[in-house]
Amino acid sequence: MDEMLTVSTATPTRDVAVRLARSAISAGLAAGGQIVGPVASVFWHGGEFGEGEEWVASFKTTAARYDELEAHLIEHHEWQNPEVTAVPLARASAAYVEWVERVTAK
């Protein structure tokens, strides 16, 4: 069993998040994803304090596909240096793991 991950990135609009999700999932880099938002964001960027609204796209994938998914999200993202993070799943149902592994298999 490969390690399961939830990978996420923030986007400026819902449309951008959906576009990233469609392209990543169509390429087999993730088994599925969710779009959540808008969310309020407070941050430092370029040495300045900022606030804004963002949409979060999260993806279900394996550790084996993470590098490719990360590269895909960065390449197709509107921002020059987007946040792309991954959190390992401590536990997951056997059927869920089988689905993610089957859909993301090369």
Give pLDDT tens digits for 49-63. 999 999 999 999 999
pLDDT bracket for residue 2 (50, 70, 90): confident
What stretches of 1-106 show up as alpha helix (H) in DSSP? 14-26, 63-76, 94-104
Average pLDDT on 66-85 reads: 97
Residues of the domain holding 11: 4-104
CATH number, domain of 56, equals 3.30.70.120
Compute the Cα dihedral for 5, 10, 11, 17 and give only its sign: positive
Average pLDDT on 81-105 reads: 96
Nearest residue to 84 via CA among 96, 68, 99: 68
Average pLDDT on 7-11 reads: 98
Query: Model pTM?
Result: 0.94
Average pLDDT on 64-72 reads: 98
The count of structural domains within the chain is: 1
Average pLDDT on 21-32 reads: 98
Return the pLDDT at 49. Answer: 97
